[in-house]
Chains A and B, each alone.
Chain A
Amino acid sequence: MRHPWLRRLLDFHGLLFLFFVYAPIIIVVVYSFNSHPVNMMVWKDFTFDWYLSIFGNPTKLNEQTLYVESTDQLLAAVKNSLLVASTTTAFSTIVGTATALAVYRHHFRLKPFYQGLLFMPMVMPDIVLGIALLVFFVNFGIKLGLFSIIIGHCTFLISYVFVVVSARLAGMDDTLEQASADLGANPWITFRRVTLPQILPGIVGGALLAFIISMDDLVITYFIAGVDSTTLPVFIYGMLRRGVKPEINAIATLMLVFSFVIASLGLYFRKRT
């Protein structure tokens, strides 16, 4: 770089940028340990009480604000989220991988159509897809609940798995597969012994991505969840709309840690591709 002052200016901007990205998150994490009972943004003492209280343990701080019934709802929402995320991940990983294998290992006339079709759910605004699914389910008498949430998530998660697995397939050449076929292996053996081991990191990466997006989805789930089946993000959104409570800090911190772990794993698997 010819102009050192330019470099320094960029360095400064870069640090500001990282500050903008991480400061809000760090603030929430730090203040989730704050024991101030009235103003949660004025630091008083270090405490674990908010964490205890979200799991239903009575503590000194939250006797007035305690809402025991919420703990059951919270745990039910977590259970729903995990159930939905694991089901949708399994389904969309299989279907997304199969479609990617079809599109990137075969030649057929409708190929551009499929590339477009699988690209669409990813750019479709959440609210449009959520509304469309709601109208569809109600119009055809499908009961809103866990089943409709699972269907709704799969419509866009298949695309994410498709994109990750396709990237892997596009990056490897098919000479090994042809060699395997030439040596007399049938297509199934070729797939299991040659193709699958090579694309496995892509499949695992795609599955983790699908899992985390399903766990985090708010907008689409919000429209198609029905009354008695909320997921964790919808539950927190409802809590936030009623008012900000210190317990949300603690829940948010736990979710942050969870997302960071899964995302790191996912990016690790994608890096290996």
Chain B
Amino acid sequence: MAVKRDSRRLFALLTPGTVFLGIFFLGPLAVMVVFSFLEPGLYGGVEWNFYHWNYGRILGWADGEWEDFDPVYAEIFFRSVRLALTNVAITLLICYPAALWVSGLSARWRTFVVFIVTLPFFVSLVVRLFCWVLILRPSGFLSSTLLGLGLISEPIDIIYTETAVLIGMAYILLPFMFLPLYASIEKLDHSLVEASYDLGANPYQTFLRVILPSTLPGIAAGSVLVFIPSLGNFIVPDLLGGAKVLMIGNLVEQQFLSARNWPFGSALSVMIMLVMFLLIVIYLRRIGRSEIVR
């Protein structure tokens, strides 16, 4: 009797979430995968025929018939991967020493600093990027200040370059790197560090042999969490990169909102999703799921 009632309660608790996520989360992803195998119609719609050239087009073969080999999309794809990897490296270099610094503070300061580092994460993305638009424009803060100080003689133009995109991406994704790193550095056993020093190791050796290996799970988690949103980002390259630094996210947006080639856009989107799944699977195999499901 008790078991029966218990299973009825479980059923009642699970049903709303299952039905909602089944229809409105898994459903749309499935429809998107189906769309990525349909033929784009002449005037923006889709033809319900099986068509795999949407994927061929990403690599450069447009339709196998009358369009020439053109690797422009492959270039954009690899640029996105390159920028996303660079962004992982930048955030890691910024956040690792910062996390070490925070973990060495007194308990009260530690809580406070973690709080103020997390706080800007809750500010709207568009507001945080607007800050950088204001700073990096030719008539912006950086240029005006340097001009005012007499350090440069004419306005500098950083916006609409890869540098600007990397600054913007690093800025909005910092917490995703900082928090996992901090979590694993906090767990670090300080007696190991002391032991390493006692045995005559210098700071460099101690870092390389003791601190770094035991914080690898944090580095891996942070890298995955920064890489995934960097790869598919389209707001940052749109506001800070302009037309010069197109990324795969901009391409997807164009296919849906201006070029109206939905199957090709879906195929690009599926590619981003596959990269994500691949990374998560590698991560779970290597590091284990206990780190992710906190």
Contacts and interface: CB of A to CB of B under 8 A. Distances in A.
A207 interface: no
B166 interface: no
Interface string B84-97: 00000000001101
Given A126-B229, A132-B269, A151-B24, A41 B234 contact: no
A186 to B, nearest CB: 10
Interface residues of A, number: 87
Interface in B20-46: 20-21, 24-29, 31-32, 35
A167 B197 contact: no
Contacts of B293: 115, 119
Nearest to B101: A14
B96 to A, nearest CB: 10
B139 A11 contact: no
B174 A102 contact: no
How many of chain B's residues touch chain A, expressed as a range? 35 or more
B102 interface: yes
B98 A17 contact: yes
Contact of A27 (B20, B95, B134, B171): B134
A39 interface: yes
B259 interface: no
A3 B207 CA distance: 13
Given A102-B13, A125-B272, A236-B126, A41 B134 contact: yes
Interface of A: 1-3, 6-7, 10-11, 13-14, 17-18, 20-22, 24-25, 27-28, 31, 39-42, 94-96, 98-99, 101-102, 106, 108, 114-115, 117-121, 123-129, 131-136, 139, 151-152, 154-155, 158, 162-163, 167, 187, 212, 215-216, 218-219, 223, 232-233, 236-237, 240-241, 244, 248-249, 252, 255-256, 259-260, 262-264, 266-267
12 contacts: A17-B97, A28-B131, A98-B17, A99-B14, A106-B6, A118-B17, A126-B232, A132-B269, A134-B256, A151-B24, A236-B124, A255-B127
